[in-house]
Amino acid sequence: MLLRELTAGIDHIQGAGPAAARDLGRVGVNSVAELLTYYPRDWEDRSREVLLGDFNKSGAVCTTVTILAQDWFGSGRMRTLKVYVEDSSARAALVCFNRPFLEKQLVPGRRCRLWGRFMYKYGEIQSTSFEVELLPETDGAAGQPLGASGNNFGRILPVYPLSKDITQNLLRRLVKRGLEQYASRLENELPLPVMEKEALLPKAQALCAIHFPPDQKTLEQAKKTLIYEELFYLELMVGRRAMERRNLASRAIPPRASGEGKNSLQHRLLERLPFSLTQGQSNAVAELNQDMDSPYPMARLLQGEVGSGKTLVSFMAALKAIERGGQAVIMAPTELLARQHAENAAKLLEPLGLRIAFLTGNLKAGGRGALLGALASGDIDMAVGTHALFSKDVAYKNLSLVVVDEQHRFGVLQRHAIMAKGNTPDLLMMSATPIPRTLALTVFGDLDVSVIRDLPPGRKPVRTHLARESSEERVYAFIRGELEKGRQAYFVYPLIEADAEKDLKDAQSMARRLAEKIFPAFRSALVHSRLDEEEKRNTMELFRRGEVQILVATSVVEVGVDVPNATCMTIEHAERFGLSALHQLRGRVGRGGEQSYCFLVYSDELTDDGKTRLKVMLENHDGFVIAEEDLKLRGPGQIIGIEQSGYLNLALANPVRDQALLERTRETAFAILKDDPLFNRPENQIIAGVLRRSPPFSDLTL
Ligand code: ADP
Ligand code: MG
C-alpha cells in the first residue's frame, strides 16, 4: 500500500544507504514522504544560455566555453589554480580555490559546460563560484545544444537547504530516485473540480516539477498547486475545528433568566452609565448575547482598537452569565491591569448587587482561604485576576464565562487551564493588538470575531511627532506646557536600569533626571516590572488620581492602563520597540477629550527597520493597518502567540504573500466541509505537509 511505502524510511529509496538516511535524519527528513516534500529553497535555471559577456545582466552565467590557459598564483597552501576560458562573447577567469584537481581536467583546448556567478575584478571577468562539466573530447567545434548535456546542465536545477554532511548532489540524486519510484502512483489530493477551476497540476506532476521543473511556466504552476494544497488543508483544519466547537458538548439552551429584558442586569448597567455604548460596542454585545443563547459554547475573539472600550463589553457578557446563575472570570496578564478591571467592576457592577472578588498571586493566606471558599460555594459571582485564577487549588461552583483580556499575553496552556475550571464555559478573548486579516483567516480562523472599529465620541486622534535625541529639550519644553495645564505625561524607556554595555537611557536614571533637573516643579514616579506589586499599585493609584503628574516607565504600561487625563506619551529610543508595542504605548493617551501627543524620540543610529517602524507610526493610527505592516516586517512566525506554537510553519505557502489564494482556499474548504463534513484523504496527512509539521490546531486557539 502506497501510504505505508511513503512513511517508510529513506533507505527504501534505491541508492540511499544507512549513511544517507542518518544524515538526512539530521535535517528532519526521515521518511520517503518527507524527502519528497523537502522542497528546494531556490532553482537555478541552467536551461537557458547566458553568455559570459552578459554576466552582469543575469544572476548567473550558463554557457559553453573553451579552455584557453592555466596559471597558478599564491604560494604554499594558498597556491591556487586559475583557468582562463572563452565563449563566443567574452573571456573570463575561473579561480579554483581548493580545487587543484581541476588542473588535470580543465586542460587548454577542452570544451565544457560552465555555470557560475561572475563579477568584474582586477580587470577581468572572474568567478570563484562555478561548476563545470566537460564535453566529450570528440565534440565538434560547433558543440551540442545545451539541453543535451549531462546531469547538472540543460535543466532547471533545484537548490535545497543544506546542512553539514548533505550535498546538493546527494539530495538531487535521492529525490530524483524517490520521484521515479513513487510519484506516478500518487493520487491527487485536491478534488477534481477545484483543480480544474484553479488550473492546478495533478499531484504527481506538481511534485516532480517542483523538484525538477521542465520549464519556468511549469515551475510556477507546480508552486501554485502545492501552495494551494497546503493552504487548503490548513483551512480544512480550521473549518473542522470550528465545526467541532459547534458539536462539542452541545448544551441545553440556557434558560432565560427572570430578569432579562428591561430588568436585565445588562439593561440596568447601561442605564447607570454616564454615556451610551458606541455602535461597535453594541454590535459586539449583540453578537455575544446571541452566542451565549445558542446551544454550543461561545468562542469569540473581540478585537478593538486601543481605547475602544472592550472592558465594558466583557462586563456585559459577565452580567449575562451571572444572571443565569453562572460565574464569570476576567483574566488579565498583569496585576496592574487586573486591578484596574477589578476597580472598574466594583464601581460599575457592585451597585447592581454583584459579588466580585479580586484574585492574584499576592493574596495573603488568610484572605485567600475565605475567597476560595466563596468561589467554590458560589457566593462570588465574578472573579477578576491574573493567572492566579486557575491555580490548582481554585475551584468554581459554576464557571460559565471566561474572559481573557490581552489574550496574546497568555500561553495555550494557561488558556486551557482556566477553561478547564468550568464545564465548557463560554469563552471571550480580547485583543488590543488588532489581528491582521491573514491571521484571522488562519490561526484564529475557527473563532467568531467581533470587531470594534469606532472609538467613544469626542476622542481626538493622537498627534504623533518624531524627534531626534539631540532635540529632546524641545519635547520636554512642550510637555512642561501640558503639565502646567494640569495634564499628565508618560515617559517610556527600553531599559529598567543603566547597562554599561548599552548606550541607552534607562527608566531609573531618567526618573531621577526628569524629577531633579527637567521637571522639578512636578511630581513624578517610576514604575517597572521589578518593583513589588504594592509599590506598583500605589504608584499607579497616585498617577490615576493625578497626584503624580509624570509616570516614568518601561513597557509595563504597554497594556491596558487607562488614565484619561494623561495626554503626553514620550517614548525614548523608540526605534527599539516593535510596532505593536509602539501602538499599544501610544494608545495610553488620547483616552479623554483633550488633544493628546505622542513623541517618538530616536537615536542617531537608526537601522532601516527602525526607520520603517517609526514612519509607519507617524503615518498610521489604525491598529489594523499597523498590524498588517508589522506582519509584513516580521513575518507571521514572529507575531506574539504564534512563535511559541510552531504554527504556520508552512513549507511553500506564505499566508501574507498568498493572501488572495488563502481566501479562496478558505471558501472552498469551508464549502466542501459543509457538504461533506468527513471529507478527508488519508494520503494527505503525509504529503500535504501542513498536518505533518503543525501541532494540533486546537492547541493554539483554545
Ligand atoms: P480598551 O478597549 O483599550 O481595553 P477600555 O475598556 O480600557 O479600552 O476603555 C477605555 C476608556 O473608554 C475607559 O475609560 C472607558 O470607561 C471609556 N469608555 C468605554 N466605552 C465608552 C463609551 N461608549 N463612551 C465613552 N467612554 C467609554
Ligand atoms: Mg483593555
For residue 258, is pLDDT > 60? no
**pLDDT score of 290:** 93
For residue 182, is pLDDT > 80? yes
Query: CB of 600 within 8 A of CB of 464?
Result: yes
For residue 257, is pLDDT > 90? no
**pLDDT score of 250:** 57
Confidence class for position 238, pLDDT limits 50, 70, 90: confident
**pLDDT score of 440:** 78
**pLDDT score of 150:** 54
Ligand 1 atom 25 nearest Cα: 456
Alpha-carbon distance values, 526 to 146, 506, 652 (Å)? 72, 11, 48
Q: Please give the torsion angle defined by the CA atoms of residues 467, 473, 478 and 481, in that order, rounded to the nearest 10 degrees.
A: 160
- 482 CA to centre of ligand 1 in angstroms: 23
**Could you read off the pLDDT of 485-535 as tens digits, one per residue?**
999 999 999 999 988 888 889 999 999 999 999 999 999 999 998 988 889
Across the chain, mean pLDDT equals 86
Mean pLDDT of 206-213: 95
- Of 3.40.50.2000, 3.40.50.620, 1.10.10.10, 2.40.50.140, the CATH number of 48-154 is 2.40.50.140
The percent of residues in the chain predicted with pLDDT above 70, rounded, is 90
Side-chain half-sphere of 281: how many Cα atoms within 13 Å? 20
Ligand 1 atom 26 nearest Cα: 456
**pLDDT score of 560:** 67
Residue range(s) of every CATH 2.40.50.140 domain in the chain: 48-154
Confidence class for position 438, pLDDT limits 50, 70, 90: confident
**pLDDT score of 145:** 41
Mean pLDDT of 365-381: 91
- 327 CA to centre of ligand 1 in angstroms: 23
Residue 406 cell numbers, joined: 490581552
Confidence class for position 600, pLDDT limits 50, 70, 90: very high
- 564 CA to centre of ligand 1 in angstroms: 10
**pLDDT score of 698:** 41
Residue range(s) of every CATH 3.40.50.300 domain in the chain: 261-293+309-431, 463-620
Confidence class for position 288, pLDDT limits 50, 70, 90: very high
Tell me the pTM.
0.72
**pLDDT score of 605:** 80
For residue 639, is pLDDT > 90? no
For residue 6, is pLDDT > 60? yes
590 alpha carbon, closest ligand = 1
Confidence class for position 702, pLDDT limits 50, 70, 90: very low
Ligand 1 pocket at CB < 6 A: 275, 277-278, 281, 304, 306-312, 432, 456, 560, 562, 564, 591
Mutate to test the pocket of ligand 1, among 276, 308, 544, 565 (most ligand atoms within 8 A of CB): 308
Confidence class for position 209, pLDDT limits 50, 70, 90: very high
> Residue 464's beta-bridge partner residues?
598
Q: Does domain 261-293+309-431 have CATH number 3.60.21.10?
A: no
> Residue 524's beta-bridge partner residues?
550
User: Which residues, other chains included, contact 242 with Cβ-Cβ below 8 Å and sequence gap of 6+?
Assistant: 445, 446, 447
In 561-607, which ranges are continuous DSSP H helix? 579-586
Q: How many other CB atoms are there within 10 angstroms of residue 185's CB atom? A: 10
**pLDDT score of 2:** 74
583 alpha carbon, closest ligand = 1
Mutate to test the pocket of ligand 1, among 312, 315, 429 (most ligand atoms within 8 A of CB): 312
For residue 149, is pLDDT > 50? no
User: Which residues, other chains included, contact 541 with Cβ-Cβ below 8 Å and sequence gap of 6+?
Assistant: none
Mean pLDDT of 298-308: 88
**What is the side-by-side strand order in the sheet with 550-553?**
463-468, 597-602, 566-572, 488-492, 550-553, 524-527
Strands (E), 469-565: 488-492, 524-527, 550-553
**pLDDT score of 256:** 59
Residue 352 cell numbers, joined: 447592581
- 658 CA to centre of ligand 1 in angstroms: 36
Mean pLDDT of 349-364: 90
For residue 410, is pLDDT > 70? yes
Of 156-160, 326-330, 573-577, 636-640, least confident by mean pLDDT is: 636-640
Atom index in ligand 1 nearest the CA of residue 562 equals: 7
Ligand 1 atom 14 nearest Cα: 562
- 281 CA to centre of ligand 1 in angstroms: 10
Mean pLDDT of 637-656: 61
For residue 408, is pLDDT > 70? yes
314 alpha carbon, closest ligand = 1
Check residues 484 and 144 and name the one with the higher pLDDT: 484
For residue 442, is pLDDT > 50? yes
For residue 690, is pLDDT > 60? no
Output the CA torsion sign for 337, 340, 342, 348. Answer: negative
Fold of 463-620: Rossmann fold (3.40.50)
From first CA to last CA, the distance across the chain in angstroms is 36
Residue listed under C-alpha cell 443563547: 293
